[in-house]
Amino acid sequence: MTTGLIPGGHPPDPRPTGGLPSQSRREPVGQGAPHLDERPRSSVITARAAASFEPVGRSVASARSFVRDTLQGWGFADIVDDAVVLTSELVTNAVVHAGTAADVLCLRSDDGVRVEVSDRYPEREIPLQGPSAAMGNLDREGGRGLQLCAALAGRWGVDYTPTHKQVWFRLDLPERAVGTRAAGPCLPAELLPLADGRVRVAVIQIDRAGAISAWNEDAEDVFGYPSEQVTGKPLTDLAAWPHTPGTSTGIAEALQLSRWEGSYGIRDAAGRVVPVYASHLRVRDTDGEPSTVCLLVRDHERAVLQTPVRVSTTDTTTNAEGQSTDPFEIFIGSPAPDDLDGLLQRTVERARDMLDADSAFLLLATDDETELEVRASTGLPSARQRFARVPVEAGPGRYGSARMPAVHDDLSSVPGAVPLLNGTGMRSVVTVPLKVEGRLTGSLGVAAESPGRYSNEEALRLQFAADRIALAVESARLGELERLRRGSLSFLVEASDLLAGTLDRDQTLALMAQMTVPTLATWCAVYTIADQAADPYLSYVLHEDEELIDGIKSLLSKIPPPDPVPTPGAHVWTAPAEAAHQAALRTSMRSLGLSEPASIAAGIGTTLATASAVGGETVVLPLVARNRVIGMLTLGKPTDEHFRQEILELAEDLSRRAALALDNARLYSERTAISQALQRSLLPPGLPQIDGVEVDVIYRAAGEGNEVGGDFYDVFPIGENTYGFAIGDVCGTGPNAAAVTGLARHALRLLAREGLSGPAVLQRLNSAILDEGARSRFLTLLYGELRPREDGSAELKIVCAGHPLPLRLRQDGTVETAAEPQPLLGVLEDLELYEQTITLDPGDVLLCVTDGVTERREGTRMLGDDGLMEVLTTCTGLTAGAVAARIMRAVDRFASDAPSDDMAILTMRVPDLPN
């Protein structure tokens, strides 16, 4: 991949300017006007980034990373996910379907970004007419790139030249108000919001490396850290950043932007997360050194920093006095928040103030209207309740008054009527539904600590307000859901690529955990099930804070694992939170010197930090592959936190992909283990120790994962002071050749120990090979018998049946062949073989190899017999092992490519006589 980046200025047009003119731009099939390049001529290109990718599958992931990094660096986080999805589809079309290299060009302007993907296959044109379905069928693997462009891009098109085809799309940045002004009416003092003491604005300065360089007194008061304790530490050590795919950037990216505003959390000195609203401004000092100034207030005091957004005058109507009369604006205030969380928080605050209540809350319905999810509250422990879910109609703790307005004078007489208020001290409550076109979308309620505060009149007022805001809330919710789903699509594409890239079981488990933490959960654990009769086994644990991993692993190992339920979907598992609660209680009572209650389980023994880490909601998703539960993916939140329904749906999609990847890794590991065990059984158990003769072997099978191929060797005792040796080569490589290898090696041992001569052994082996019929393969074999002599020499009787001739290295450095060629085995029924006798004198070496050594090639060159003899002449005085090693090094250096044939080297040397 090659890349280039030119910041600022006017880069040259990447399209060809000479030669034949560009072909006319084709109109994509579909409704509406042609998608022409409508970029204004005055639009200034402020930066460009280009990269080229080879026509291989891994280039798709590289292209996604390139576009993501480029747009993040430009501060275009709002459109990153759409750009990544579109680039992935277009590059796939180029490198996979078209089979050519792909050139990706990103152009930045003030109001958006244009991405161009070019391939070198201009003949692949889009259809000029016909139904839009012709562009791509959802059941097919390819052809959806242009449809995605039409759905996601602001503008897009296709350009053709004689040598290239270019598909481009443009994504516009969302409009951001500049120079906004906002004001509210003058209110009596008693109507002003109540602040806890004086409002403190924490001022923190972050240097270019992300470390804290300044920390004012208000920051010390709000978070409890003195300046000297945090100065020099990264802000990421303290920030609890919301990890929701598709809806936000990371804190590191936010600190690099010129301006950023929003909510997150800061862990204070006591370990609690303080929700804050922040305004970041990127500045530079007189030396040009950049840094970021962060202003932070407690989240409920966000109005001090929050920048209101100006709304269009067409969204409201005015009366004769020119005042807004839109009921929604009257209730929610102007300007309205432009994000869902801000709108919901403003709604509950206004509802509480309207009915002079102590608290208010708003829940949103799931798509099937069976559950309500807490999304905003005021006057309640919101951090503890956020994203908690309750059933609408049935089951324990049901929210029975969701579909109709309801007034409860005293909750103490109807416990559980509003589960959200359990244990909060609220007595009277009024709830009203939020409906859009008759469909339940949520519920709004206000509550007071005293009983009997509300009547039907208050319910009607609240219902009137709920009717005014229901459509706006649903529209904002759908917008948030769409952004989340786009981010989820990008997340799942990258997850699938990572999981498909490995067949290693341990690496697959690690990938599963790393993809979920911290994107989907704070911690996770993966349980695996070896077979249907086995219990779940805790295989992997991960937490976003590495220091807590061992504590969580210890806690989970001491409680029973979750039941392997095959039903799809996330199931709540309460055991970790309960165990964490008991462990925390035990620790606290021991620290106070109190006796522990008998009801608390003993032996768990964990720290308060670990107990807090697993004290929130925990869900279990089954890992089902090929109709069998092979494990469970457990996701958890820290104390008092819950999962969003959309996150659980995304986790379910991920679990299905992860289960198949894990099962594929299991099957691959099992088959590899079986193959290696069978292959190892075909190799000799070891070389015997022969008095007076050094023997060494080097064996290398061709092909990944093969330990035995068509080449084989053996050295074994036949009788007293007599040893057999053999080196052979079966036609072909791989398992089929290895089967004949096993037959030959074991038959040689049996026949030789029957006292048969060398020719008789090989003739009977030839008959056994021919008896295999269609499975038989011809075999070259060098077989001999070795007898050491008392005078220090060794006698060898050799039969060379079609095999490369053995070479003899004398002590004076001369090399000669040590046998004559004879017919190979497995072809003719009647063989006339004879054996030859040679004597190895002290210092002599006998080298036996298979043709994988002599036929080693580099282009048109081949090592050959002459090359082997030349290498052997340099081995005078070396031991048998050193000779074999030098021959193998010479073979490896002869060619740069991996060997395509099996190789075996057998060396025997008679040691020099002592002086």
pLDDT digits (tens, 9 = 90+) for 62-114: 888 888 888 877 778 778 888 888 888 888 888 877 778 889 999 988 788 99
Give the whole-angstrom CA distance, residue 843 versus residue 827: 38
Contact at 8 Å (CB) between 552 and 543? yes
Rounded to 5 degrees, φ, ψ at 894 are -65, -35
Give the whole-angstrom CA distance, residue 475 versus residue 470: 9
Average pLDDT over residues 640-664: 84
Reported as type and span, the H/E element at residue 906 is: strand 903-909
Give the whole-angstrom CA distance, residue 371 versus residue 643: 13
Rounded to 5 degrees, φ, ψ at 667 are -60, -40
DSSP sequence for 107-149: EEETTEEEEEEEES-TT-PPPSSS-GGGG--TTSSS--HHHHH
Contact at 8 Å (CB) between 895 and 856? yes
* Higher-confidence position of 854 and 336: 854
Tokens 């080879």, residue located: 54
Give the whole-angstrom CA distance, residue 206 versus residue 255: 8
Give the whole-angstrom CA distance, residue 669 versus residue 667: 5
Average pLDDT over residues 386-391: 70
For 515-644, list the strands marked E by DSSP. Answer: 523-528, 537-543, 571-572, 618-625, 628-636
Give the whole-angstrom CA distance, residue 507 versus residue 488: 23
Closest CA to 383 of 224, 521, 262, 264: 264
Cβ-based neighbour number of residue 4 at 10 Å: 11
Average pLDDT of the chain, as a whole number: 78
Of the listed ranges 248-257, 541-550, 637-646, 649-658, the least confidently predicted one is 248-257
Helices (H) and strands (E) in the chain, counts: 20, 36
Of the listed ranges 191-200, 613-622, 787-796, the least confidently predicted one is 191-200
Give the whole-angstrom CA distance, residue 852 versus residue 900: 8
Residue percentage of the chain with pLDDT more than 90: 18
Reported as type and span, the H/E element at residue 747 is: helix 734-752
Q: Which residues contact 823 (CB under 8 A, 6 or more apart)?
A: 801, 802, 831, 833
- Cα atoms in the Cβ-side hemisphere of radius 13 Å centred on 556: 29
Give the whole-angstrom CA distance, residue 216 versus residue 231: 11
Give the whole-angstrom CA distance, residue 742 versus residue 723: 20
Residue type, 380: L
- Measured in residues, the chain has a length of 915
Average pLDDT over residues 636-655: 82
Report the side by side order of strands in the sheet with 537-543.
Answer: 537-543, 523-528, 628-636, 618-625, 571-572
Cα-based distances in Å from 6 to 43, 46, 626: 17, 9, 51
Question: Residue 92: exposed, middle, or buried by beta-carbon count in 10 A (0-12, 13-18, 19+)?
Answer: buried
Q: What confidence score (pLDDT) does residue 285 get?
A: 81
Give the whole-angstrom CA distance, residue 549 versus residue 517: 12
Q: Which residues contact 790 (CB under 8 A, 6 or more apart)?
A: none
Q: What confidence score (pLDDT) does residue 707 get?
A: 57
Q: What is the pLDDT of residues 280-339, one digit of tens each?
A: 888 888 888 889 999 999 888 887 887 654 443 334 444 444 444 445 555 665 555 667
The band of 240, judged by pLDDT with boundaries at 50, 70 and 90, is confident
Average pLDDT over residues 484-494: 79
Q: What is the pLDDT of residues 426-480, one digit of tens each?
A: 889 998 888 888 788 888 989 998 888 888 888 888 888 888 888 888 888 888 7
Give the whole-angstrom CA distance, residue 1 versus residue 629: 41
Q: What confidence score (pLDDT) does residue 228 get?
A: 92
Give the whole-angstrom CA distance, residue 429 versus residue 357: 9
For 789-866, list the strands marked E by DSSP. Answer: 794-801, 807-809, 815-817, 836-840, 845-849, 857-858, 861-862
- Angle, CA 51 vertex, CA 59 and CA 260 arms, to 5°: 100
pTM: 0.48
Q: What confidence score (pLDDT) does residue 455 get?
A: 85
The band of 546, judged by pLDDT with boundaries at 50, 70 and 90, is confident
User: Any long-range contacts for 163-167 (C-beta under 8 Å, 24+ apart)?
Assistant: 163/120, 163/122, 164/16, 164/118, 164/119, 164/120, 164/122, 165/118, 165/119, 165/120, 165/121, 165/122, 165/124, 165/125, 166/15, 166/116, 166/117, 166/118, 167/90, 167/93, 167/116, 167/117, 167/118
Instruction: Report whether pLDDT(415) > 80.
Output: no
Give the whole-angstrom CA distance, residue 64 versus residue 496: 13
Cβ-based neighbour number of residue 8 at 10 Å: 11
DSSP 721: T
Q: Which residues contact 111 (CB under 8 A, 6 or more apart)?
A: 43, 172, 173
Residue percentage of the chain with pLDDT more than 70: 79
Instruction: Report whether pLDDT(797) > 90.
Output: yes
Question: Token pair of 583, please?
Answer: 């462990």
Q: What confidence score (pLDDT) does residue 387 get?
A: 67
- Cα atoms in the Cβ-side hemisphere of radius 13 Å centred on 818: 27
Contact at 8 Å (CB) between 714 and 684? yes
Give the whole-angstrom CA distance, residue 889 versus residue 565: 56
- The CA-to-CA distance between both ends of the chain, in Å, stands at 65
For 347-499, list the strands marked E by DSSP. Answer: 359-365, 371-378, 389-391, 406-408, 428-436, 439-448
DSSP 348: H
Q: What is the pLDDT of residues 857-886, one digit of tens each?
A: 888 888 888 999 999 999 998 999 999 999
Instruction: Report whether pLDDT(627) > 70.
Output: yes
Q: How many Å separate Cα 767 from the centre of its chain?
A: 56
Instruction: Report whether pLDDT(3) > 60.
Output: no
Q: Which residues contact 335 (CB under 8 A, 6 or more apart)?
A: 180, 182, 308, 309, 310, 311
**Residue 779 bridge partners (DSSP):** 730, 825
Instruction: Report whether pLDDT(906) > 80.
Output: yes
Rounded to 5 degrees, φ, ψ at 517 are -115, 125
Q: Which residues contact 363 (CB under 8 A, 6 or more apart)?
A: 372, 373, 374, 375, 390, 399, 402, 420, 442, 443
> Exposure string (b/e) for 676-695, b if CB count within 10 Å is 16 or more?
eeebeebbbeeeeebebbbb
Residue 894's SS3 state is: helix
Rg of the chain on CA atoms, in Å: 38
Q: What confidence score (pLDDT) does residue 385 get?
A: 63
Q: Which residues contact 453 (CB under 8 A, 6 or more apart)?
A: 357, 427, 428
SS (H, E, C) 630-698: EEEEEEECCCCCCCCHHHHHHHHHHHHHHHHHHHHHHHHHHHHHHHHHHHHHCCCCCCCCCCCCEEEEE
Q: Which residues contact 809 (CB under 8 A, 6 or more apart)?
A: 815, 844, 845, 846, 847, 872, 873, 875, 876, 883
Q: What confidence score (pLDDT) does residue 723 get?
A: 94
Q: What is the pLDDT of residues 838-851, one digit of tens each?
A: 999 999 999 999 98
The band of 226, judged by pLDDT with boundaries at 50, 70 and 90, is very high
Q: What confidence score (pLDDT) does residue 887 get?
A: 93
Q: What confidence score (pLDDT) does residue 329 get?
A: 55
Q: What confidence score (pLDDT) does residue 140 get?
A: 47
Tokens 């009787």, residue located: 797
Residue type, 291: S
Highest mean pLDDT among 583-592, 595-604, 855-864: 855-864
